[in-house]
A and B are shown apart, each in its own frame.
Chain A
Amino acid sequence: MIWNPTKECMSRDQMRELQGKRLHKIVEYVYHNVPFYRNKLQEMDLTPADIRSIDDIVKLPFTTKKDLRDNYPFGLQAAPQSEIIRIHASSGTTGNPTIVGYTRKDISIWSECMARSLSSYGVGRDDIFSVSYGYGLFTGGLGAHNGVEMVGASVVPASTGNTEKHARLIRDLGITGIACTPSYALYLAETMDRLGITKDQIHLRVGAFGAEPWTENMRTEIQERLGLKGFNLYGLSEIMGPSVSYECECQDGSHINEDHFFPEIIDPVTLEPLPAGQTGELVFTTLTKEGMPVLRYRTRDLCSLLPGECPCGRTNVRMSAIHGRSDDMLIIRGINVFPSQVESVVLTMKEFAPVYMLIVDRINNLDTLMVQVELRQEYFTATLDSPVAIAELEKQLAAKLRSVLSISAKVQIKAPGTIERSQGKSAHVIDKRKLY
């Protein structure tokens, strides 16, 4: 079902006109309310009057994660504190977290975007929907929660943690939908296996997966193990939270709520906009946000905008899956390596669980890559009961990795359950090189 056909199926001309009007308005708004942006625009000799159509967006300055950190906590907030009704903070691994304040209107738009996503997945009033993103400072939990309430399904605010209890609730309540990270979905599937909860005892039908990049192989595995259809849900707290974009039933790219978040793809090195269809860094401008609007925010996510119309009837532009992040990309012996590439290979071998760890090091000035994988309990058989046989299996995986990554990697097979499962964003890399 299409939640808001007026906006989701708008003609391209109308959309661009709407985006142009909103862009002008938001630039005027930040110019008068955020000294950071006023200074930047003045340095570039720009005034809001220079921004007339959406094509003028390329004149505007970029915003980076560092800008958000440098202006901690409220430096980029445009609305007065009295108008802010909620504050989230993004998980920062270094330095200050990013603080994002939302006005009542922001929360309402966010809920609308989330409702569009859920409707697109086929979630409606009759569903019992469990939100298993973390509730708290992270935008995932409450963001998804508001959307589920808006579409009128029964929300089960399961959050993360206590996975065994959650698994039993999924069975006992007949929960039909779940929103969580894809790695948590796999963790849940493992937990169900351990508890002896089988696929025919549960009624899961829809999964809204996001907050970390995932692959088609991972989707296949989750769908198979939980018996649901898994949809991508993309978002980031700097822009809004989950539901900046969402997949439809075609599962071919995620539709961007571009009446609120305008996407661009740029070359991460030259910062020049790239032609449609090319892969580069995704940049968003919030067109309607009041609390903390951002102009041309560099997401560091690498993807492309898909050309052509979607058979589902929505006209809002689609983004491809995230190919990696310009900042988690590893350069090993001069070759770009994305952990997601390793994941796609690991998932092709049934002997291994869908968890892995990349350990990068530099020994005698030579970069080394080790990939740790975990043997699946049920695939350890009598034929594998000698180090020779295990080494043979390691060799097989190493050969596959080499063909995908173009560099050789040492493979280390670990016992079941010995690679740490992450319940939030997966951490898959240990880089021991001191490059910075």
Chain B
Amino acid sequence: MTISQLSIFIENRTGTLLKVLDLMKQSKIQMIACTIAETAEYGIFRIICSEPQRACTELKQAGLAVAISDVFALELDNQPGGAADVVRFLGDAGVDITYMYAFLLGGRGILVFRTDEGDLARKVIADNNLPYITEKELAGTV
């Protein structure tokens, strides 16, 4: 029910982003979505991509601090309030969202979030028949 997201600890300094992007390019790994949680000194660069496991290995070999995080990716109704409805289901059930972002995949809105209450989130998604994206579907798009 979850997909793999790369999380990379990078310095908040000129050239560090490009280093990561160049490594992805060299490894022929395609990015599907990305976001950065930035602070004054460092950032956590989060990437959804093709072949996350291979990407993780390649980036590690280049000396980067990189981890794979399991995140949920829910498909949204493409109309106002689509995200609100999904988040309400989760919030009502007591699922705390650590962070969240969204992107478009083939015209469909995808909401990505991470939570420490993974089991509860799975139950909410199943009980309410919320449409989600799997690793396999994601791989099929690139």
- Of A12-20, A251-259, A262-270, A381-389, the stretch lying at the interface with chain B is A381-389
Query: Binary interface profile of A, 402-418, with partner B (CB < 8 Å = 1, else 0)?
Result: 00000000001111111
A371, chain B: closest CB distance, angstroms: 13
- For the side of the interface on B, what is the size category? 20 to 34
A416: chain B residues within 8 A (beta carbon):
63-65
Q: Is B11 on the interface with A (CB-CB < 8 A)?
A: yes
A418: chain B residues within 8 A (beta carbon):
11
Q: How many Cβ-Cβ contacts under 8 Å join chain A to chain B?
A: 59
A388 to B70, CA, bound (A): 17
B101, chain A: closest CB distance, angstroms: 12
**Using a CB-CB cutoff of 8 Å, which residues 94-127 of chain B contact chain A?**
98-99, 114
A381 to B65, CA, bound (A): 8
Q: CB-nearest residue of chain B relative to A380? A: B65
Q: A385-B44, A386-B98, A387-B44 are in contact. Are A415 and B67 (CB under 8 A)?
A: no
A11, chain B: closest CB distance, angstroms: 57
**Using a CB-CB cutoff of 8 Å, which residues 6-35 of chain B contact chain A?**
7, 9-11, 16
B51, chain A: closest CB distance, angstroms: 18
A413 to B41, CA, bound (A): 8
Q: CB-nearest residue of chain B relative to A417? A: B63
Among B7, B11, B68, B99, the residue within 8 A (CB) of A415 is: B11
A311, chain B: closest CB distance, angstroms: 45
| Contact indicator A384/B67 (Cβ below 8 Å) | yes
**Using a CB-CB cutoff of 8 Å, which residues 29-77 of chain B contact chain A?**
37, 39, 41-42, 44, 46, 60, 63-70
Q: Is A89 on the interface with B (CB-CB < 8 A)?
A: no
Q: Is A274 on the interface with B (CB-CB < 8 A)?
A: no
Q: Is A375 on the interface with B (CB-CB < 8 A)?
A: yes
Q: A385-B44, A412-B41, A418-B11 are in contact. Are A377 and B68 (CB under 8 A)?
A: no
A417, chain B: closest CB distance, angstroms: 5
| Contact indicator A380/B66 (Cβ below 8 Å) | yes
Query: Binary interface profile of A, 387-405, with partner B (CB < 8 Å = 1, else 0)?
Result: 1101000000000000000
B37, chain A: closest CB distance, angstroms: 5
| Contact indicator A377/B63 (Cβ below 8 Å) | yes
**Using a CB-CB cutoff of 8 Å, which residues 345-388 of chain A contact chain B?**
375-377, 380-382, 384-388
A381: chain B residues within 8 A (beta carbon):
67
A415: chain B residues within 8 A (beta carbon):
9-11, 16, 42, 64-65
Q: A386-B98, A387-B39 are in contact. Are A380 and B11 (CB under 8 A)?
A: no
Most B-side CB within 10 Å, residue of A376, A412, A415: A415
B39: chain A residues within 8 A (beta carbon):
387, 390
A414: chain B residues within 8 A (beta carbon):
11, 41-42
A388: chain B residues within 8 A (beta carbon):
98
B98: chain A residues within 8 A (beta carbon):
386, 388
B88, chain A: closest CB distance, angstroms: 23
Q: CB-nearest residue of chain B relative to A418? A: B11
A390 to B67, CA, bound (A): 14
Most A-side CB within 10 Å, residue of B63, B65, B69: B65
Most A-side CB within 10 Å, residue of B9, B60, B64: B9
Can you sample 18 A-B contacts with CB below 8 Å? A375-B9, A375-B65, A376-B65, A377-B63, A381-B67, A384-B9, A385-B69, A387-B39, A387-B44, A390-B39, A390-B44, A412-B41, A414-B42, A415-B11, A415-B42, A415-B64, A415-B65, A416-B64
Q: Could you list 20 further interchain pairs (A-B, Cβ under 8 angstroms) beyond the known A381-B67, A386-B44, A386-B98?
A: A375-B65, A377-B63, A377-B65, A377-B66, A380-B9, A382-B7, A382-B68, A382-B69, A382-B70, A384-B67, A385-B44, A385-B69, A385-B114, A386-B114, A390-B39, A390-B42, A414-B41, A415-B11, A415-B64, A416-B63
* B residues neighboring A (CB under 8 Å): 7, 9-11, 16, 37, 39, 41-42, 44, 46, 60, 63-70, 98-99, 114
